[in-house]
Amino acid sequence: MQRQIIRLVNKAVRNSLLQHILFWAIAYFILLNIFSGSSRFQRIDYIYTSIFLASLFIPVAINLFVCIPKLLDKKRYLLYGFIFLINLFVFSLFNQLLFDKLIDYILPGFYFISYYSYFDILKFFIVFLIVTTLIKLSKEWFELSEARQKIILLEKEKIDAELKALTNQVNPHFLFNSLNVLYSLSLNNRKETSDAIIKLSDIMRYVIYDSTTELVPLKSEIDLINNYIHLQRFRTGAKAKIGFHTDVKDESISIAPMLLLPLVENSFKHGIKGDVANTFININLTSTNKSIHFFIENNKGEADDIEQQKSGGVGLENIKSRLQLIYPESYTFEIKETDKSFRVELSIKTGK
């Protein structure tokens, strides 16, 4: 991993160096044509262009490698603008002094005549500083956009991994509870055992295959809940009052799989136990083309059961985590307690 990072850094440095070399090579050729005034270049043209370009390189380098990262990128705009102007005027003046006063001492064997006034030189510096600044900012913008895309991709991969882990957590938990029903039936040698096994196989087929997708039709979740209720009726018999009412305008509306079933499981686990004659579960599911509302209510069990149902164990905590990952800021999840019942309400904005 460390070697891979080093290779990427080295590659980025090489690419950046090549880009700088290419830019200054093109700039040199353009200035050479401007300064020579003809297609036949003299030795003095090469020397003059080289010195002029060197005097341009210094303020450009100061701007790119000092002013932009230290000031502009840190949003110190006024100070950056002030330093930019100082950098521009000082080195434009230095260029004029270089060719008017200093060049004879540096290269005494040559006689340089500059045809450009201070304001002409200033124009060259303005163009180079602005062009290189725009190139630098454009490059930073593209790099930032690429980095953001990578971050988004990594976050999505992280969320997908968390969702997969949470789904894998639900499946064994659900299977364990369902097997308890079959175990209870088999102990009593009830003839409904084979029917219950068929129901469970239908449910498990859905859990294993359909729940691996990101979204499923709401109708699939409704069928799953119905099958689960039928499976639980083998355990509770006809004494427990279990109602499941739906008012769904569009059954093709999508929802994350296995999101509602843990709420139903939780109600059966804590509500219908012991003397089932005095127990009940009421479930209401309504939807429009933009939202889903799920309500479930069960009778209060013993004091210990109520505290356990509030905490939710694996089921409720799992749902809360998945809701936050799949529907951030697009859902409400409320747990309410009355004198006789325990209620959970879930609303999801699907945004279809």
Return d(Cα 350, Cα 352) in angstroms, integer: 5
User: Which pLDDT value is given to residue 1?
Assistant: 44
Query: Parallel, antiparallel, or unpaired for β 341-349 and 241-248?
Result: unpaired
Domain termination site, one of 54, 80, 115? 115
Mean pLDDT, range 254-282, rounded to an integer: 82
| 303-351 pLDDT tens trace | 545 555 555 455 677 788 888 888 888 999 998 888 888 899 999 998 7
62 CB contacts (<8 Å, ≥6 apart)? 87
Q: What one-letter code names the amino acid at 173?
A: H
Euclidean distance between CA atoms 187 and 189, whole angstroms: 6
180 and 39 within one domain? no
Residue 280, pLDDT above cutoff 70: yes
* pLDDT of residue 161 exceeding 50: yes
Does any domain span residue 140?
no
- Where is pLDDT greater, at 36 or 94? 94
Query: In 3-state terms, what secondary structure has residue 90?
Result: helix
Which range marks the domain in which residue 89 is found? 2-115
Share of the chain above pLDDT 70, in %: 73
Burial class (CB in 10 A: 0-12, 13-18, 19+), 256: buried
Distance CA 113, CA 45 (A): 11
Within this chain, do residues 57 and 184 fall inside the same structural domain, yes or no?
no
Q: Give the SS3 label for residue 249.
A: coil
Domain boundary among 57, 84, 115: 115
User: Which CATH number characterizes residue 207's domain?
Assistant: 3.30.565.10
Contact predicate 281/246, CB 8 Å: no
pLDDT at position 286 is 93
Q: Given this model, what pLDDT does residue 352 score?
A: 58
Residues 66 and 206 in one domain: no
Domain assignment present for residue 144? The answer is no
Say which range, 48-52, 78-82, 153-157, has the weakest mean pLDDT.
Answer: 153-157
Judged on CB neighbours under 10 Å (0-12, 13-18, 19+), 145 is exposed
Which is higher by pLDDT, 87 or 42?
A: 87
The answer to whether residues 205 and 335 belong to one domain is yes
Q: What is the pLDDT of residue 8?
A: 47
Query: How many CB atoms within 10 Å of residue 113?
Result: 7
Number of Cβ atoms within 10 Å of the Cβ of 253: 20
Chain centre to alpha carbon of residue 265: 32
Predicted pLDDT of residue 305: 53
Query: How far apart are the C-alpha atoms of 114 and 143, rounded to whole Å?
Result: 41
pLDDT on residue 347: 94
- φ, ψ of residue 298 to 5 degrees: the values are -135, 160
- Contact status, residue 260 vs residue 227, Cβ threshold 8 Å: no
- The pLDDT score that the predictor gives to residue 285 is 95
Specify if 250 maps to a domain. Answer: yes
The DSSP call for residue 63 is: I
b/e per residue, 230-252, with b = 16+ CB within 10 A?
A: ebbbbbbeeebebebeeeeeeee
pLDDT one-digit tens code per residue, 171-207: 555 666 667 666 666 666 666 677 777 777 787 788 7
Residue 86 or 147, more confident: 86
Let me know if residue 42 belongs to a domain: yes
Q: What is the pLDDT of residues 92-151, one digit of tens each?
A: 888 888 877 777 677 766 666 666 788 888 888 999 889 988 888 888 888 777 777 776
Q: If residue 243 lies in a helix (H) or strand (E), which one and from where to where?
A: strand 241-248
Residues 86 and 213 in one domain: no
**In one letter, which amino acid is 128?**
F
Q: How many CA atoms lie within 13 A of 294 on its CB side?
A: 20
Q: How many domains does the chain have?
A: 2
Same domain, 92 and 239: no
Q: In the predicted model, what is the mean pLDDT of the chain?
A: 78
Average pLDDT over residues 60-64: 89
Residue 206 lies in a domain: yes
206: closest CA among 194, 193, 223, 230?
223
pLDDT tens digits, one per residue of 284-305: 999 988 899 999 999 886 654 5
Please tell me the predicted confidence (pLDDT) of residue 238: 65
Q: Do 317 and 169 lie in a common domain? A: yes
In this structure, the answer to whether residues 320 and 212 fall within a common structural domain is yes
> Any residues with CB less than 8 A from the CB of 349 and at least 6 apart, and which?
290, 291, 327, 330, 331
pLDDT at 2 over 60: no
Instruction: Specify whether 183 is located in the same domain as 57.
Output: no
Residues listed for the chain = 352
199 and 341 in a single domain? The answer is: yes
Domain assignment present for residue 238? The answer is yes
- Identify which of 303, 300, 287 has the alpha carbon closest to the alpha carbon of residue 254: 287
Residue 305 in any domain: the answer is yes
Instruction: Give the mean pLDDT of 142-165.
Output: 69
225 and 91 within one domain: no
pLDDT of residue 345: 94
- Banded model confidence at residue 213, pLDDT cuts 50, 70, 90: confident
Is 70 a member of any domain? yes
What pLDDT shows up at residue 284? Answer: 95
Sheet holding 331-337, edge to edge: 241-248, 280-287, 291-299, 341-349, 331-337
Same domain, 100 and 44: yes
